[in-house]
Amino acid sequence: MILVGPMGSGKSTVGRDLAARLRRPHRDTDAAVVHGAGRSIPEIFAEAGEADFRSRESASLKEILDGPPAVVSTGGGIVVSEDNRRLLSDGRSLVVWLDASVEALLKRVRNGRGRPLLDGDVAANMNAMVSERETWYSEVSDIRVDTTDISRDSTVDRLLLDLERESVL
């Protein structure tokens, strides 16, 4: 299972909990990029730019998807790349779009610290990203879960039910 969605939607936390409940490994594309680069995401953006980060992100996604089955949490911008969208849509994994209202996302990311794409006007930047990417999230996803008003545990429970319904478990 692959989790996509905007920053703050819960992909990493839900992914870890879901993987534990399914007794499967959890992989995170952002963590893989950081590990491979030996630098934080803000450092990668500052030193090499977004294009370098996106290239690393795409390589991490491909490597993870070519590896053993896992619950995969992706970065919010994974869908920006057409190649990534093609990989996500190839039918190898169930793709879940974790979504939330912009207001909820802003509360979760607080001041945007550590999130280079939110630098400056955090609310305006979040609105622009959500607006730009929502069609792509919809394009690649099999299931959409709105996490605005539900807890992480409820989200995991909902996904487990969806997996049963899809006969994936």
Identify which of 82, 77, 2 has the alpha carbon closest to the alpha carbon of residue 41. Answer: 77
Buried b (16+ CB within 10 A) or exposed e, 86-113: ebbeeeebbbbbbbbebebbbeebeebe
pLDDT interval class at 105 (50, 70, 90): very high
Average pLDDT of the segment spanning 154-168 = 84
| Residue 68 structure tokens | 């053993």
Banded model confidence at residue 125, pLDDT cuts 50, 70, 90 = confident
User: pLDDT by residue (tens digit) across 21-78?
Assistant: 999 999 999 999 999 999 999 899 999 999 999 999 999 999 999 999 999 999 999 9
Residue 159 domain-assigned?
no
CATH code of the domain containing 37: 3.40.50.300
Q: How many CB atoms lie within 10 A of CB 124?
A: 10
Domain count, the chain: 1
Provide the pLDDT for residue 169.
Answer: 54
Residue 169 in domain: no
**Would you say 98 and 140 are in contact if contact means Cβ atoms under 8 Å apart?**
no
Find how far residue 63's CA is from the centre of its chain. Answer: 16
Report the predicted TM-score, pTM, of the whole model to 2 decimal places: 0.91
